[in-house]
Amino acid sequence: MSHTTTLKKSSQLEQNSWSYKPTTIVTTLQPMQKKLVSAGVLVSLILLIAIVLTTNWIQGSLFIIGLLLGAALLYARFGFTSAFRRLLSVGNTQGLQAHMLMFAVSTTLFAIILSTGFSFTGLSPKGYVSPVGVPVLFGAFLFGIGMQLGNGCASGTLYNLGGGSSSMILTLFAFIIGSTLGAYHFTFWMEQTPTLPPISLAESTGLGYFGAWLLQMVVFAVIYWITVQFAKKKNPPTMKPLPTTTGWKKVIRGSWPLFAAGIVLAILNALTLTVRGTPWGITSAFALWGGKTLMALGVDVSQWGFFSGASGASLKNSVLADSTSVMNFGIILGAFISASFQGTFKPKKIKPGVAGAAVIGGLFMGYGSRLAFGCNIGAYFGGISSFSLHGWVWMVMAMLGTLLAIYIRPLFGLKNPSSKDSFC
């Protein structure tokens, strides 16, 4: 039986019963790129040693967590950008369902950690609970547009870059510029626009962590149920199953089921919280990298509001002392090693339209993430897991931005999923 025939039968099975939606399929895999695997492992070991010698084992542990995050993202091609785009363009709900499962696990773990103060390192755990106001509304909306033009969110930019996507070089570069510009304007948005104080569903409502956990679990279940009913009615094309293999080889050679990766990401985010005292984040490092670059060029960014306090101290320290930076390095290398194991690290030429979209998308995401107190990871994943209202607001506004971007993407030669497609 040919691979194409197998995929078609798999698609028919999924479309006939949305209770069964495999995202992987056993088939022949690409040859492992052994030299690249060796190079990636060697670089990771050298960087790990440098981090530990420069700072401490906490930073080294966070780098290792970053490696695991990069692997989980790459092996499942776990998407936030693609999940929103598939949902709003053709009604495919597989990605959003994976998000709900991921949130159910992370919310449970966060509730235990935040309510008990559990920590592996002695650092008191604190969730991402941020203000809700015009900056979040506009920033998340802008980020939603940007991630669709850039073909990747914050996590997607890093793991796709490590996985060999050439356009992500442009997206990341523009992301850093946009984030730095957002840091420059940060004080204006925080002080000159209407904003409510941080609202925690656990601490600001009297529900407590158990009550807030129960509330969010009900919301996740309702959203999941709605997506199942919606998919049954709309019968959209399913995600194209990723190639995998059998046995333990699938862990490093094959692709991972989407739901399995969602659970792994939730556990790793909770582990991050217990190690560094805050959840997983990505984009604050981009502002730091841009700020350090400007400082090296003679521009004093230490007077900017964004770089007050701990952020200002980071400007003077080694980038290896910044926990978010070392995790980002780990994500890129983890994805690179994983792609090399799969034999899929194959950079391609960048088309002009894709290049233009990547730059604009990166700028929008960078700027938007500073206003919205984070990206799809810090604001959406970390915010909702921390019981912050701003995480839910971010989700809605990013989806609205995605909806607009679906009509903009074709102008740059970017394709959207179609209801006529066999897979999306």
pLDDT single digits (tens) 174-231: 999 999 999 999 999 999 999 999 999 999 999 999 999 999 999 999 999 999 999 9
**For the segment 81-106, what is each residue's pLDDT rounded down to a tens digit?**
999 999 999 999 999 999 999 999 99
**For the segment 286-332, what is each residue's pLDDT rounded down to a tens digit?**
999 999 999 999 999 999 999 987 777 899 999 999 999 999 999 99
Residue 19 has a pLDDT of: 53
Residue 311 has a pLDDT of: 74
Phi, psi of 200 (to 5 degrees): -100, 125
Instruction: Calculate what percentage of the chain has a pLDDT beyond 90.
Output: 92
- pLDDT of 10 > 50? The answer is no
* DSSP character at residue 185: T
Q: Which residue has the tokens 């709309």?
A: 234
CA distance 110 to 116: 10
- First-last CA distance in the chain: 23
**For the segment 170-183, what is each residue's pLDDT rounded down to a tens digit?**
999 999 999 999 99
Per DSSP, the three-state class of 113 is helix
- pLDDT of 263 > 80? The answer is yes
- pLDDT of 18 > 70? The answer is no
CA distance 395 to 400: 9
Q: Where are the beta strands (DSSP E) in 149-238?
A: 195-196
Residue 420 has a pLDDT of: 87
Non-local (6+) Cβ contacts of 51 within 8 A are 59, 60, 63, 320, 326
Residue 309 has a pLDDT of: 75
Q: Are 182 and 367 in contact (CB under 8 A)?
A: yes
Residue 1 has a pLDDT of: 45
Arithmetic mean of pLDDT over the chain: 94
Residue 20 has a pLDDT of: 53
Q: Are strands 195-196 and 132-133 parallel, antiparallel or unpaired?
A: antiparallel
Measuring CA to CA, which residue among 33, 210, 49 is closest to residue 115? 210
